[in-house]
A and B are shown apart, each in its own frame.
Chain A
Amino acid sequence: MAKSDIKLKIPSAAFYIEPVRAFIGNLAQSLGFSRKRVADIQLVLDEICSNAVHHGSIDATVGVKLRIRIDTHSLEILVRDTGSRHTGEKSWLTPERLAEIEANRSPSSESGHGIFIAKSLADAYEIQSNAVDGTDVRVVFKLLKPNDLKL
């Protein structure tokens, strides 16, 4: 399969994450990921989109961009937000802030698990500030792994 990109833009509202989660689940299943990995991919997408919607956007109108890149060997998801730091919003998440949250995470924490989940479940994970003063989170799930046999 040649490398292909699917680009989506959703309003920055939690309501729109669920249909995207359903879409990525169907796509991953079609690509041949195991049921367990499909669930992992859906969970990671939910977590990084939730961070982008709740902490990376001024309001619902700005939108969150997703680029889903597929090829023979992998499924890559890039989630790009526009940031909210210039509004004085204290909850915006920079790579530095996320590292701090992760360091303070514990099993009894009520929040702050999203990036830990993404890092734990994805085969590759990357977070960086982007050119529009927001945050890019990129995760990769490899298709052809010995432990990814279909159940």
Chain B
Amino acid sequence: MDSTKLMKLREESGIKILEIKTDLSSYAASDLRKVLEDLLAEKVEKVVVNLSQVSHINSTAVGALVGVAKRLRQSGGDLKICALEENLTRTFNLIGASSVVEIYESENSALAAF
């Protein structure tokens, strides 16, 4: 199964929005990393990842998001995350990633933060 089909990309005002429609356990997390690295290869600078339809995220997926956010910042861009369920917020807080990646309540607020 290719979970990248459940990761939809669109663009608004020059910002790439990646909407995830699958839980991010180990298998899908690898696909998420591939999708994000493709964006880096395309020289995309601004990314919002919408996790509103995700009820589980593991540390591999969190690590992929953190890694890409750090690399984008080096070139003046950023990756911001939005619409986390309570479970996801707890995972980000436990790892400490919420202090590294900017997290917003809604997609609109994440877009507005650029």
Residues of A within 8 A of B (CB): 14-15, 17-18, 21, 36, 39, 42-43, 46-47, 49-50, 53-54, 106-111, 113-114, 116-117, 120-121
Contact = CB atoms under 8 A, between A and B. Distances in A.
B23 A18 contact: yes
Nearest to B60: A50
Interface of B: 1, 23, 25-28, 30, 56, 58-60, 62-64, 66-67, 70, 87, 90-91, 94-97, 99-100
Nearest to B96: A107
Nearest to A121: B94
Contacts of A46: 25-26, 56, 58
Contacts, number: 73
B27 A18 contact: yes
Q: Name, among B62, B95, B100, the residue most crowded by chain A CB atoms within 10 Å (CB to CB).
A: B95
B94 A120 contact: yes
A14 B63 contact: no
A30 to B, nearest CB: 18
B20 to A, nearest CB: 14
Listed from nearest, the 9 A-B pairs whose CB atoms lie closest are A107-B96, A113-B59, A110-B63, A14-B26, A14-B27, A110-B67, A50-B26, A39-B87, A46-B58
B59 A107 contact: no
A35 to B, nearest CB: 9
B56 to A, nearest CB: 6
Given A108-B66, A108-B70, A50 B58 contact: yes
